Structures are given as structure tokens and as C-alpha cells.
Structure 1
């Protein structure tokens, strides 16, 4: 199991949930969900890349 890919997937999912909650009921700091989404997608991309057998 690739740690970067797993962490990226979890962070992306949590960020999407946070963004959805921010659309329904605006809260302070909701822009952090966009940053979390970008970092999560980046971790997924990094985790997908180095798997050589």
C-alpha cells in the first residue's frame, strides 16, 4: 500500500466534504478546503508515479 496515495485520497475526500459543507453553510476558514484538495490531488499523483516492479 502506498502511503502518499492513501493520504492523498483521504485528504481529497475530506476536502470535498468540507467544500460541500461550506457551500451549504458558509464558515470561517472554508477556503482551506481548496488548499487541502490541491495537496490531496498532488499526493495522489506522486503516489501513483514511482511504482516499478
Structure 2
């Protein structure tokens, strides 16, 4: 679970930086910064939710 949260934070920061750079400088693929931002937020939120307590 810890790797999921770390990956989420990494994508969130990279997506935010990519978005901010894309506001000032148009570059190919800048739309992927929004995708990285959204996936990062989801991974951070999902990683912080405790499990149901049932081990499989």
C-alpha cells in the first residue's frame, strides 16, 4: 500500500508541474499532465483508505 501512495504523490507532483509549465509553454503531450494529476489523486486517496480487515 505504501508504494501506491508514493506513486500517487509522484504522479500528483509531476502532473501539477507539467500543468503549470504547459500553461506558459505549449509542448506536445501536455494533456497527459492532467491525466497524471487525476491518477495521482486517486492513488493517494485509495492508498489512504484502510482495508476491510479481511485477508485473502
Q: TM-score, normalised by structure 1?
A: 0.87
Q: Partner of 2:44 in structure 1?
A: 44
Which structure: larger Rg? 2
State the aligned residue count. Answer: 52
Q: Residue 51 of structure 1: CA displacement?
A: 6.0
What SS class does the counterpart of residue 37 from structure 1 fall into? helix
Q: Give the gaps of 5 or more residues in structure 2.
A: none
Q: Give the gaps of 5 or more residues in structure 1.
A: none
- The structure in which a higher percent of residues are helix is 1
